[in-house]
Amino acid sequence: MDALINKRIKQVLKGDQSAYSDIVSLYQQKLYQVCYRMLGNRHEAEDIAQEAFVRAYINLHTFDLNRKFSTWLYRIATNLCIDRIRKKKPDYYLDAQVAGTDGLDMYSQISSSDRLPEEEVERMELQERIQYEISQLPDKYRTVIVLKYIEELPLQEISEILDMPLGTVKTRIHRGREALRKQLGNL
Amino acid sequence: MNACPKHIGEYMHEYLDGDISREHEIELKAHLQSCDNCRQHMQELNSTIAFVKSAAVVSVPLDFKQNVMIRLPKGRSGAGVQRWLRRHPIFVAAAMFCILMSASLLTGFNDNKEFSVTKQPNLVVEGQTVIVPEGKTVTGDIVVKNGDILVKGSVDGNITVINGQYMASTANVTGQIDEINQAFEWLWYKIKNGGKEILSFLGKNE
């Protein structure tokens, strides 16, 4: 698979644009899935996933053929998703700790205040509910949870995609799991 | 789980990540057997994971690929050229050298406005015109700068005219005739001559 991808990449770099469509075919499902789970909206997911492929095409000459192409693509896509999420958010400093709370930052404040009434949540269909609960996660936890449990990627690859140490990825996954558990209450 | 050791919570996550050590796993299992709170916590974590994993695959729109291909920048982007340059720094260096060299050569072209001609017997100079008189033969090459040459007799060699005209009636020239009027040609002539010199130099050495 990697050999095939590298062959296609070389063709594209030589100017054969049509070879890129094979690359898109191979990864479109994965990339779209990640974007959808990150953004919670099909239209936006399509836009961002396409943008990710376009950016990858433009910067293809910077890709190191010795590395894994999917890791590189995921990285472009998750960065675009996070940018999009942050643009939609209000303008205050979300990482700032809230006075009088132990380790809680503005993320948790927002998700708790934005949450729908419990009866409404309980009326949701399963799939709708899953997406809703994922969207309630702060984006730094959402990214790792989506990559780990929706895409089922190994922790090592997640650490490469997000360009952060393995330890940080683990911590975020642990906190993400706990946050989800609390959101779900007694399911 | 307030009364439970804090590391039990960490072990739970180590377990869920699949990188728990054997000792930790034994300790965790023993604790879960004796502690209802922690057992429930563990169960909740497990069902949370099962819940997220039950997310259905969202299939990509049918025209997705087509739309990506439409959005790609048209034609060959500069990327190819950039990449090529990055991989061949020698060519960049060579190109820079050529540009700088041609700059100095071109300056030379503009500076030399003076009329000059190679000295050869039998040549007659009238103002800016060099004449090879009728019935006379000039042996050797003639280079005329900023002037014209009129050949009536015969020349046994090459004629080069820079910034001037070559005129002949029934001329008899055994060598090449070059007229150089433009900067580019001047440059080309210089390069060609340089090449010839190198070749003849190499030829002598062999």
What integer is the mean pLDDT of A140-156? Answer: 95
Confidence band, pLDDT 50/70/90 cuts, at residue A109: very low
Q: What was the pLDDT predicted at A112?
A: 45
Judge whether B40 lies within some domain. yes
**Hey, what are B24's tokens?**
């930790």
Judge whether B67 lies within some domain. no
Chain B residues closer than 8 Å to A174 by CB: 10, 13
Q: Do A123 and A52 fall within a single domain?
A: no
Domain count, chain B: 2
CA distance B6 to chain A (A): 14
What is chain B's alpha carbon radius of gyration, rounded to the nearest angstrom? 43
Chain A residues closer than 8 Å to B54 by CB: 126, 130
Alpha carbon of residue A119 to chain centroid: 29
Q: What was the pLDDT predicted at B205?
A: 63
Non-local (6+) Cβ contacts of B14 within 8 A are B20, B21, B24
Q: Domain containing A85 — which CATH number?
A: 1.10.1740.10
Q: What was the pLDDT predicted at A113?
A: 47
Chain B residues closer than 8 Å to A53 by CB: 68, 71
Which domain range does residue A76 map to? 1-89
B181 or B55: whose pLDDT is higher?
A: B55
Q: What was the pLDDT predicted at B1?
A: 44
* B57 in A contact zone (CB under 8 Å): yes
d(CA B84, CA B195): 28
Q: Do A8 and A53 fall within a single domain?
A: yes
Q: Judge whether residue B26 has pLDDT over 80.
A: yes
Contact assignment for B68 to A58 by CB distance below 8 Å:
no
What integer is the mean pLDDT of B178-194? Answer: 75
Domain count, chain A: 2
Q: Judge whether residue B176 has pLDDT over 90.
A: no
Which domain range does residue B28 map to? 6-54
CA distance A44 to chain B (A): 12
Chain A residues closer than 8 Å to B41 by CB: 181
Q: Do A3 and A85 fall within a single domain?
A: yes
Non-local (6+) Cβ contacts of A101 within 8 A are none
Nearest residue, CB atoms, A127 vs list B56, B60, B73 = B56
Share of chain A above pLDDT 70, in %: 85
What SS3 class is residue B144?
Answer: strand
B124 or B187: whose pLDDT is higher?
A: B124
Judge whether A98 lies within some domain. no
Judge whether A106 lies within some domain. no
Report in angstroms the alpha-carbon separations of B5 from A181, B1, B23, B93.
20, 8, 16, 67
Judge whether A130 lies within some domain. yes
Judge whether A95 lies within some domain. no
Q: Do A36 and A76 fall within a single domain?
A: yes
Is the torsion defined by CA of B120, B125, B128, B130 positive or negative? negative
Judge whether B130 lies within some domain. yes
pLDDT one-digit tens code per residue, A15-60: 888 999 999 999 999 999 999 999 988 999 999 999 999 999 999 9
Q: Domain containing A166 — which CATH number?
A: 1.10.10.10
Chain B residues closer than 8 Å to A60 by CB: 79
Q: Do A77 and A1 fall within a single domain?
A: yes
Judge whether B101 lies within some domain. no
Q: Do A9 and A78 fall within a single domain?
A: yes
Closest listed residue to residue A44, CA positions, set A5, A83, A4 = A83
* B70 in A contact zone (CB under 8 Å): no
| Average of per-residue pLDDT values in chain A | 86
Judge whether A108 lies within some domain. no
pLDDT one-digit tens code per residue, B54-76: 988 888 999 999 999 999 887 65
Judge whether B82 lies within some domain. no
Report in angstroms the alpha-carbon separations of A176 from A18, A133, A158, A167.
40, 11, 14, 14
Confidence band, pLDDT 50/70/90 cuts, at residue B39: very high
CB pairs < 8 Å spanning A and B = 113
* Portion 77-116 of B in contact with A at CB < 8 A: 77, 79-80, 82-83
Q: Do A58 and A137 fall within a single domain?
A: no
Is the torsion defined by CA of B60, B62, B65, B70 positive or negative? negative
